[in-house]
Amino acid sequence: MGKMTQQKRVGIVGATGLVGREIISILEENALPVRELNLFASMRTAGEIVEFKGKGIVVKEIQRKLLQGHDIIFFASGGDVSREFCPYAAQVGALVIDNSSEFRMEEKVPLVVPEVNPEKVFSGPGIISNPNCSTIQMVVALKSLHEAAQLKRIVVSTYQSVSGVGKEATEELFEQVRCILSCQEIKAEVFSQQIAFNIIPHIDYFHPNHYSNEELKMERETQKIFADPTIRVTATCVRVPTFVGHGAAINAEFHKPLTLEKSYELLGKAPGVMVVDNPSNSEYPTPIQSVDRDEVMVGRLRIDQTVSSGLNMWIVANNLRKGAALNAVQIAQEWLKHQYE
């Protein structure tokens, strides 16, 4: 058996959540050579049995000692769990891929989207951060255009599904819809206001400058991933009543001229991108189309006629897969390549 096919001992922290379960699903597709899979969660869901390749695995309550001896550990839990356990897991020799925002802006922690900056994956144990879901799909869509024309400014508005918050959020949307259709009282507990048949321009907490933390994440993470602090990014992040799939309307301004024809050519060859753009036949990406896809779907391309070199586009991606779980597994795949080069 060659080095590249050596089986790995893999752990998932937050295994009972939406992203954790999606990682399990992707690993079932033989995305990584898994010798042993261990699942961890909080006390609340520890003891659940989760199936992996026809075998039931008991989810254990996370403890430091249980993290020892792993090659790769995915963290699909909250920032408080990552803060407590990620450094220890890396210290005892694991590659740690963290889906929280806890370490994203730390200088020594790579922030990686494999289609964009795979060179940032290192070969030894340590922490690698998975970017914000909306940032991931945006940089994948813009990477080839940035290489050709150099991004100057990005104005983005997101349309983010409730699954980005977690299982409780999807349950709240379902329950609110049920209550509305049966003329019952609506309760808003996960969200600040009713989400069913509504949209909420509020994701994460607000800073003194009135930008939400989600909006500032998109700015800072984009600059770090592209390794270019001069790219100006301004975002408006909105929660919409869809279950899966984040959309984003992007206005990108470049330093160099970029024609529509060249944009189609670049995007057609870009890794991880699928162009769906024939609006006269009502062909454009929608969240429902993204549910079973791993690509970032791009459409509604048009030249911005208000600046010398600008492009408008609409993008959609499955926030649980490419926006989280798939990107994390792709990081692990890239790490394995570095291990045995």
Tokens at residue 265, please? 């050519």
| Contact assessment for residue 15 and residue 26, using Cβ atoms and an 8 Å cutoff | no
Judge residue 48's burial from the number of C-beta atoms within 10 Å of its C-beta, 0-12 exposed, 13-18 middle, 19 or more buried. Answer: middle
| Contact assessment for residue 323 and residue 26, using Cβ atoms and an 8 Å cutoff | no
Q: What is residue 194's predicted lDDT score, i.e. its pLDDT?
A: 98
| Contact assessment for residue 45 and residue 69, using Cβ atoms and an 8 Å cutoff | no
Give dist(CA 98, CA 105) in Å, integer.
Answer: 12
Give dist(CA 92, CA 247) in Å, integer.
Answer: 39
Tokens at residue 309, please? 């070199």
Residues 6+ apart with CB under 8 A from 60: 38, 39, 40, 41, 46, 66
Q: In 103-159, where does DSSP find H-type helix?
A: 133-149
| Contact assessment for residue 135 and residue 219, using Cβ atoms and an 8 Å cutoff | no
Q: What is residue 286's predicted lDDT score, i.e. its pLDDT?
A: 97
Q: What is the tens place of the pLDDT at every residue in 231-286?
A: 999 999 999 999 999 999 999 999 999 999 999 999 999 999 999 999 999 999 99
Give dist(CA 48, CA 329) in Å, integer.
Answer: 23
Judge residue 247's burial from the number of C-beta atoms within 10 Å of its C-beta, 0-12 exposed, 13-18 middle, 19 or more buried. Answer: buried
**Global pTM?**
0.94
Q: What is residue 5's predicted lDDT score, i.e. its pLDDT?
A: 58
What is the end-to-end Cα distance of the chain in Å, rounded? 16
DSSP assignment of 305-318, as one string? TTSSSEEEEEEEE-
Q: What is residue 21's predicted lDDT score, i.e. its pLDDT?
A: 96
Task: List residues with catalytic annotation.
Answer: 133, 246
Q: What is the tens place of the pLDDT at every residue in 89-103?
A: 999 999 999 999 999
Task: Tell me which amino acid residue 164 is.
Answer: G
Residues 6+ apart with CB under 8 A from 102: 79, 82, 83, 86, 129
Would you tell me the crossing angle of helices 133-149 and 260-269 to the nearest 10 degrees?
120
- Beta sheet of 8-13, edge-to-edge order: 60-61, 34-41, 8-13, 72-75, 95-98, 126-129
Map out the domains of the chain with their CATH numbers. Answer: 3-131+324-339 (3.40.50.720), 135-318 (3.30.360.10)
Q: Which regions in the chain score pLDDT beneath 70?
A: 1-5, 123, 340-341
Give dist(CA 152, CA 266) in Å, integer.
Answer: 18
Paired with 317 in beta bridges are 246
Closest listed residue to residue 258, CA positions, set 339, 183, 313: 313
